[in-house]
Chain A
Amino acid sequence: MSDKRVPFGDPAWIRGMTRRRISRRELFRYAGAGAGALGLSSMLAAGGVGCEEQATGPTPGGEGSADWWAQQQAGDHINFTNWPAYIDRDFSIDGPGSRPSLNEFIQETGIDVTYRADINSNEEFYAAIRPALEAGQDTGHDIIVITNGQELTEMIQLGYLIELDPTRRPNFDANVGPAFKDPVYDPGNKYTMAWQSGMTGIAYNTKFVDEEITTLEQMLNPKYAGHVGMFNNTADAQNLTMMELGINPETSTPDDWQQAADFLQRFNDSGVLRGWFDQAYLTAIENEDLWITMAWSGDIINDKLYFPEYATFEFTALDTGAIVWVDNCCIPNEAANPVGAMMLMDWYYDPVYAAMLTRWNAYVSPVPAGGELVQAAAEAAKGAEKEQLETIATSPFVFPTPELEEKLYNYRVLEGDEIEQWNDLFNPIFIS
């Protein structure tokens, strides 16, 4: 939208501004000229946007190869871009010290870290950096954190991520949990190292909601009209809805997807929905705009534990279970400091720092030893701190119990034409 500031004392300007000076004849004349210029277009953009071949790994001596890594030096600055509420915080301190685990890295290595919690959705973040990646330019980020899904798979397939150096991650090799080593979406951990894992379920504010919400159907109750939220990304709502309908999302078929789409459309038609959200759902439920919403486990548990005004929040899985996902650290092409990035990524595989993360953000740690440290700290703690740690140590969403694990499912992995089919089916629901 244009915004014009008028020098209020000059009517001549205003007069000139409000005059139009074309005539119909001139308009048509120039429309004709424009059509001829279309021929130019084919020359200009003959290659089209995004003509990439599928990547098969670094070329010999190219970025990500062993030779290339051997030549890299650690820089003095790292740009670490992550999701909000994902790193431990100490609000009594201002500045870098307010993130204790990160601060210790800065102190120990002398490398400065700029931490940005700018990622609110995989699709939007990827779409924003994609032009730079496509042009082979520095995106401005050294470490980014992407959830397993369409976007991460596309980045790997198009060769937009630097292959990690297996020799620079001793902590990872020693401490990574078996569930996070060699994942399906990144065999051999060539490009990613897990940051945290979490679950998608339902959150509700008991201040406004009397019943326990364990199904999506309950969210369609008219008495919650205007205060219900759902996710609008390419994976969560779709997969969780299939689980609601009793379908195993991992093996779902296009017919199943259609069923899920029809169910989601009911949210649009029923008038209960406040909006389709990305990370902003957390702000909305904190503002009490939302009373019930799809949510990510750690966000809610963290709010409930560490902020008294949000003590009325609850997070639950569906009756039929929950979706589990993994957020992964990776290094985009042309990153300024890949060596530093790997150092930092590996830093968090030290159980001490992994424990610091999970203690705060209440997500599943990829480092079992780190989880054990949290449980030990819970036993040893006293008073109010003990209560907080006990809650985390016993939460099935941070330390999944066997009962819950039976009901945890991954996202449906999409290949080839399925991606377009899935997106064409679901995207119109999120903007309607």
Chain B
Amino acid sequence: MSAVSTQPRRVQLPEPVARRPRKRWTRFVLPTYVMAFIVYLSFPIFIIILFSFNQTRGGFGTSPRVKTTWLGFTTEWYGRLFELPDLTASLRHSLTIGLLSALAATALGTLLGLALARYRFRGRGGTDFLIFLSIASPEIVLGAALASFFVALGVTRGLSTLFLSHTMFSIAFVAVTVRARAAGLDRSLEAAAMDLGARPVTAFFKVTLPLLFPGILAGFLLAFALSMDDFVISQFTQGPATMFPTWVFGSTRVGIPPHVFVFATIIFLTGAALAMVLALTQRRRT
């Protein structure tokens, strides 16, 4: 076969396959599936919201329990929301620890994420591995380790041990978030600021930090959500003071009070509203 041809060969292309007109119904398979999936995902939420309006009779425990069958519509539980002091206290603990640990984790994790994104330093590989381990460790292992640690030291278990533990497991998540954001930043903006006479520190605060802010905020929200949601580690490191998920888990023995579902509904609606607000502001920004 000649290596070079001097005139274009006529290539015989196969006849184009006539596109079959797409049957109407196949177009709807995937979207229907996705809708069904979203329904499946949200189904327990609807149940919780629904059963927060369910009537119930008193149980043998210290408070009325939600029944698994529908007994009738009532809004009385919304009025009696703070009736159970332990439940209210556990929610307060959860919110407090959530906020404090998220703040601490965000502060620490942001610095760590920056360091990882910007610099090559000795021990960087080890730090990476530490972060990987921290994220990938099963919570039961973390909880058991923290329990062993606090017992060996004889430290009082309580809100302080909870704060320390929650901050610990959130740091890595914040660091990864901020690192991703920092890695995508345009360094030239910072350099431009310095070219215009800013000192590195000023450039950092006036240019880098605002650019990083979405990542930092995302990390903060992530840390807060992780802390609010945490059950396993809290069960191992809490003392007399309980957190909301552990209180709920304990209450499953004697039956869940309807107040739990009311709180869950309120938290859910608040979170959803916040997320929507966030979404709208983000849309406008980008």
A residues apposed to B, CB below 8 Å? 1-10, 12-13, 15-17, 20-23, 26-27, 29-30, 44-45, 47, 49, 84-85, 89, 91, 94, 114-118, 120, 131-132, 134-141, 278-280, 282-283, 286-287, 299, 302-303, 307, 309
Contact = CB atoms under 8 A, between A and B. Distances in A.
Given A26-B125, A115-B62, A116-B86, A283 B253 contact: yes
Interface in B113-129: 125-126, 128-129
Interface string B203-227: 0000000000011011001100110
A4 B222 contact: yes
B61 A85 contact: yes
A22 B129 contact: yes
Given A16-B180, A91-B58, A116-B62, A27 B129 contact: yes
A90 B255 CA distance: 19
B62 A117 contact: yes
B221 A26 contact: no
21 contacts: A3-B225, A4-B173, A7-B222, A12-B180, A13-B218, A16-B176, A16-B179, A21-B132, A29-B125, A84-B253, A94-B83, A117-B61, A118-B250, A135-B156, A137-B156, A138-B240, A139-B240, A280-B252, A282-B60, A282-B254, A283-B255
A30 B218 contact: no
Contacts of A44: 152
Given A5-B225, A49-B151, A13 B180 contact: yes
B125 A279 contact: no
Contacts of A278: 253
Interface string B52-67: 0000011111100100
Contacts of A30: 125-126, 129
B140 to A, nearest CB: 9
A5 B177 CA distance: 11
A13 B58 CA distance: 48
Nearest to B148: A49
A13 B221 CA distance: 13
B226 A2 contact: yes
A131 B221 contact: no
B166 interface: no
B232 interface: yes
A84 B139 CA distance: 30
B229 A3 contact: yes
Contacts of B85: 114
Given A16-B177, A26-B126, A30-B126, A7 B221 contact: yes
B38 to A, nearest CB: 14
A23 B155 CA distance: 37
Interface in B34-80: 57-62, 65, 68
A15 B215 CA distance: 12
A226 to B, nearest CB: 17
B273 interface: no
Q: Is the interface of B mostly helix, strand, loop or mixed?
A: helix
Contact of A120 (B83, B177, B253): B253
Interface in B142-176: 147-148, 150-152, 154-157, 169, 173, 176
A84 B255 CA distance: 11
Interface string B172-214: 0100110111011000000000000000000000000000001
B152 A22 contact: no
A31 to B, nearest CB: 9
B177 A13 contact: yes
Contact of A132 (B58, B139, B183, B239): B239
Nearest to B140: A1
B60 A7 contact: no
A117 B250 CA distance: 11
Contact of B254 (A27, A45, A84, A302): A84
A135 to B, nearest CB: 4
A26 B279 contact: no
Nearest to A136: B154
Q: Please indicate which of the listed interface residues B68, B129, B139 has the most CB atoms of chain A within 10 Å of its own CB.
A: B129
B215 A12 contact: yes
Given A10-B214, A13-B181, A49-B148, A84 B60 contact: yes
Contacts of A307: 57, 60
A29 B126 CA distance: 9
Q: Please indicate which of the listed interface residues A21, A44, A137 has the most CB atoms of chain B within 10 Å of its own CB.
A: A21
B125 A13 contact: no
Q: Please indicate which of the listed interface residues A17, A116, A139, A278 has the most CB atoms of chain B within 10 Å of its own CB.
A: A17
B50 to A, nearest CB: 18
B26 interface: no
Given A94-B83, A283-B255, 4 more contacts: A8-B279, A9-B282, A84-B254, A299-B60
Nearest to A117: B62
A26 B129 contact: yes
Contacts of B184: 12
A115 B255 CA distance: 17
A323 B117 CA distance: 66
Nearest to B184: A12
B111 interface: no
A21 B117 CA distance: 12
B108 interface: no
B118 to A, nearest CB: 14
Contacts of B230: 3
Contacts of B180: 12-13, 15-17
B155 A135 contact: yes
Contact of B152 (A49, A136, A279): A49
A22 B148 contact: no
A429 B239 CA distance: 29
B286 interface: yes
B217 to A, nearest CB: 8
B135 interface: yes
A4 B222 CA distance: 6
Contacts of B132: 20-22
Contact of B151 (A7, A16, A134): A134
Q: Please indicate which of the listed interface residues B62, B156, B222 has the most CB atoms of chain A within 10 Å of its own CB.
A: B62
Q: Please indicate which of the listed interface residues A12, A20, A27, A309 has the most CB atoms of chain B within 10 Å of its own CB.
A: A12
